[in-house]
C-alpha cells in the first residue's frame, strides 16, 4: 500500500498506522511523528516532498530544476 498525505503531521501519523509491512507514505504537508511508532514492525518507507524547499533555500540552480523530472 502506498499513501500520499497532503495534510499536517497528525494526519500523516494516523495514515502511517494504516500501512502494511513495507508500505510507503509520501508526505507533502508534514512528516509523520515516528517517536511512538514501533520500530521494525512495519518498516515503512517515508518520503518527504518539500515542494517549497527550492524556493526557500535561495539556491538558484534548485529553483531552475523544479520543473524537471530528474530534480
Distance CA 10, CA 52 (A): 20
**69 part of a folded domain:** no
d(CA 40, CA 21): 9
70 within domain boundaries: no
Confidence (pLDDT) at 71: 43
Digit-coded pLDDT (tens) for 10-55:
999 999 999 999 999 999 888 999 987 888 888 999 998 877 777 7
Structural domain boundaries enclosing 58: 2-64
Measured distance CA(71)–CA(60) in Å, rounded: 13
Report field, pTM of the whole predicted structure over 0.85: no
Q: Which three cell numbers stand for residue 14?
A: 494516523
Number of domains in the chain: 1
In a domain? residue 54: yes
Taking the C-alpha atoms of residue 25 and residue 6, their distance in angstroms, rounded to an integer, is 10
Amino acid at each position: 500500500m502506498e499513501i500520499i498525505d497532503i495534510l499536517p503531521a497528525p494526519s500523516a501519523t494516523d495514515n502511517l498506522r494504516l500501512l502494511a509491512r513495507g508500505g510507503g507514505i509520501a508526505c507533502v504537508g508534514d512528516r509523520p511523528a515516528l517517536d511512538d511508532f514501533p520500530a521494525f514492525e512495519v518498516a515503512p518507507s517515508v518520503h518527504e516532498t518539500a515542494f517549497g524547499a527550492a524556493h526557500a533555500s535561495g539556491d538558484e540552480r534548485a529553483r531552475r530544476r523544479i520543473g524537471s523530472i530528474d530534480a
